[in-house]
Amino acid sequence: MADKENSRSVFFNPLSKNNPVVVQILGICSVLAVTAKLEPAIVMGLSVIAVLAFSNVIISLIRNTIPTNIRIIVQLVVVAGLVVIVNQLLLAYAYDVSKQLSVFIGLIITNCILMGRLEAFAMANRPWLSFLDGIGNGIGYALILMIVGFFRELLGSGTLLGFQIVPQWCYDHGYVNNGLMILPPMALIVVACIIWVHRSLNKDLQEP
């Protein structure tokens, strides 16, 4: 029973109570860079989920054989190998989105969420818990990306996933897309609003 509760906590905590973006304030750079449209935000989120989950499992499996003085190098090699695989899959099956994401898929290697979970969790826990931790933190990160991408594309372009959402009659009556929403500073403002709402709903996270 205790193991089940522990597994549940490891998976669900990163979704809200210990979200890597709005609580730990990690992975902000990619949140700013890839959320002008919803589609690349979704693809980036899924990519991070895959890399984080499998890198956690791999590092957990070999954690007892990794020399302490080269553990960071080993972690980077594992993440880099998985990132290359994800990048090649995107080039093969989602080329247009891959071009939109540009170098940011490769920069998953330097995402502090990944290195933080590998060092803080996978190096000290069994593969199954490490897998759940990777999935949970990846989903927590992806949720924030999708929320930011949703509002930026909707308010900045009037579309979602490339489909026109704001009807033409709104434009005919003077509605104008908010061009500021597609600029990187607005991503930071949207994230700040999410953090504000999140802290308001979670009193235990508020500083005294």
Model confidence over 153-182: pLDDT tens digits?
999 888 998 889 888 888 888 888 888 888
Indicate if the pLDDT at residue 126 is higher than 70. yes
> What is the pTM (predicted TM-score) of this model?
0.89
For residues 136 and 24, give the distance between their C-alpha atoms in angstroms, rounded to a whole number.
Answer: 14
Q: Which residue has the tokens 């500083």?
A: 207
Q: Which residue has the tokens 């980077």?
A: 76
Indicate if the pLDDT at residue 10 is higher than 70. yes
At residue 207, the pLDDT reads 62
Residue 160's H or E segment, with its range, is strand 159-160
Task: Note whether 30 and 21 are within 8 A (CB).
Answer: no
Indicate if the pLDDT at residue 19 is higher than 90. no
Q: Which segment, 27-36, 55-64, 176-185, is predicted with the most confidence on average?
A: 55-64
For residues 55 and 77, give the distance between their C-alpha atoms in angstroms, rounded to a whole number.
Answer: 10
Model confidence over 68-105: pLDDT tens digits?
888 889 999 999 999 999 989 888 888 888 887 777 77
pLDDT category of residue 5 using cuts at 50, 70 and 90? low
Q: Which residue has the tokens 């990690």?
A: 26
- Overall residue count recorded for the chain in this entry: 208
At residue 111, the pLDDT reads 78
